[in-house]
Structure 1
Amino acid sequence: MPQGTASHGSTPNAEATGRRIEDVLDRLAQRGDREVSAAAEELVSVLMDFYGAGLARIMHHVGTGDDGPRPALLRDELVTSLLVLHDLHPEDTAARIGRALDSVRRQHAAEVAEFDADTGVLRLRAGDSGGCGCPSTADQAHQAVEAAVACYAPEVNSVQWETAGATREPALLQISRRPPTGAGAP
């Protein structure tokens, strides 16, 4: 099976697939044959148009209600990324950012501070994830949230994290010996 192709048990990732397509097109361009490179880019464009038209028809047939397959389709990361790629997603950016945060909320709490549509910068506040407060745990949480946002709302160019107030230090837990008990205790 070619590298980057999904097997029956895995789901392709839109971001990784896009990078792979760009890599293949770049390799063809580096060979110096402009005709082959142009033909490859045209092939990608024709396929995008074809699949986009098919997705548009599917979205038309599933309707606009909360019943049927539409809600499940909009919760699916792969379907969402394809709909956004083809400018067919029925939800606006704010709703999709919210859906992305909801998809990881059980493990990683975050809330939107601000989204600047002109620059594509999303500012988030980290919620209390119940972790140990270690930097590596926070980094993992940030990476998971950012990956979900990239999938559901690819128009977000960067994510900036705000800290709640000053840098919070974990509460210090004092461990000492138990006070004496019994007759000798005051």
Structure 2
Amino acid sequence: MAEAGVVRLADPDVEARLARLDDLLEGLQSTPGPTTRSATEAVVLLTEVYGEALARILDRADGRLAESLADDELLGHLLVLHDIHPEPPERRAARAVERLQPAVRELGGDVEWAGVEGKVGRVRLKAGGGCGSGCGGGTAEVSDAVQEAVLAAAPELTAVESLPDPSGRQAALAFVPLATLTHRGAR
């Protein structure tokens, strides 16, 4: 529970900071020299300590709390990053697909989780009506968004394969902005 006066970050602020952190780390890694190596080592060590702290929290959490922590988008991502997420990869991947379903259905299509074979996640993308005016290109964007979401939720998987629509329909082409499918509100 947050104390009065403690400033908390809204999800967009967290997303902005994560993007900035990615930019800073990318710039740091492209700069040679001993200072860069020391800074990179400091980031790695800090990440390891924070990972251990999260693991200790999970050790003390009952099942309901562990599930609640895993359900939080930011905490779930950190638990995956530190390889301590309490759910198996297949369940995390299935949940990622479930979160995309409303946005895909809104476009007249559907996406279903079909399981894992080896280290490959499988999904079934069904044709949708899209925008209805031949605005082109959406199937690839939906497929890319699904792959990105599944691999982010379950990095233990090596790929995501789209199985054919059992109805035999070809997916209609429709422009679908990637942000529509991957934004937090598209659940």
Normalising TM by the smaller chain, what interval? 0.5 to 0.7
**Which residue in the other structure is 2:15 paired with?**
12
Per-residue Cα deviation, 1:148-182 (whole angstroms, up to 9, x for no partner): 21331122333232322555377xxxxxxxxxxxx
**Which residue in the other structure is 1:151 paired with?**
152
**Which residue in the other structure is 1:76 paired with?**
72
Contact 2:120-2:157 at 8 Å conserved across structures: yes
Contact 1:14-1:151 at 8 Å conserved across structures: no
**Which residue in the other structure is 1:99 paired with?**
95
**Which residue in the other structure is 1:45 paired with?**
44
**Which residue in the other structure is 2:26 paired with?**
23
Q: Which of the two has higher C-alpha Rg? A: 1
| Cα distance in 2 between the residues matched to 1:21 and 1:47 | 16
| Letter paired with 2:81 | L
Per-residue Cα deviation, 1:125-155 (whole angstroms, up to 9, x for no partner): 1035553576533233223322321331122
| Cα distance in 2 between the residues matched to 1:87 and 1:17 | 23
| Letter paired with 2:13 | S
- Structure 1 residues 22, 114: CA separation in 2 closer, same or farther (over 3 Å shift)? farther
- Select between 39-48 and 150-159 the one with higher mean Cα deviation: 150-159
Q: Greater share of helix residues, 1 or 2?
A: 2
Contact 1:131-1:137 at 8 Å conserved across structures: yes
- Structure 1 residues 38, 161: CA separation in 2 closer, same or farther (over 3 Å shift)? same
SS at structure 1 position matched to 2:96: helix
Contact 1:56-1:88 at 8 Å conserved across structures: yes
Offset, 1:76: 2.1
Q: How does 1:111-150 map to 2 (within 5 A)?
A: 111-117=112-118, 120-127=119-126, 129=128, 131-132=130-131, 135-150=136-151
- Structure 1 residues 154, 18: CA separation in 2 closer, same or farther (over 3 Å shift)? farther
**Which residue in the other structure is 1:160 paired with?**
161
**Which residue in the other structure is 1:177 paired with?**
none
Contact 1:112-1:124 at 8 Å conserved across structures: yes
Q: TM-score, normalised by structure 1?
A: 0.66
| Cα distance in 2 between the residues matched to 1:162 and 1:80 | 27
SS at structure 1 position matched to 2:15: coil
Report the aligned-residue RMSD: 3.1
| Cα distance in 2 between the residues matched to 1:39 and 1:59 | 30
Offset, 1:103: 1.2
Identical aligned residues as a percent: 29
Q: TM-score, normalised by structure 2?
A: 0.66
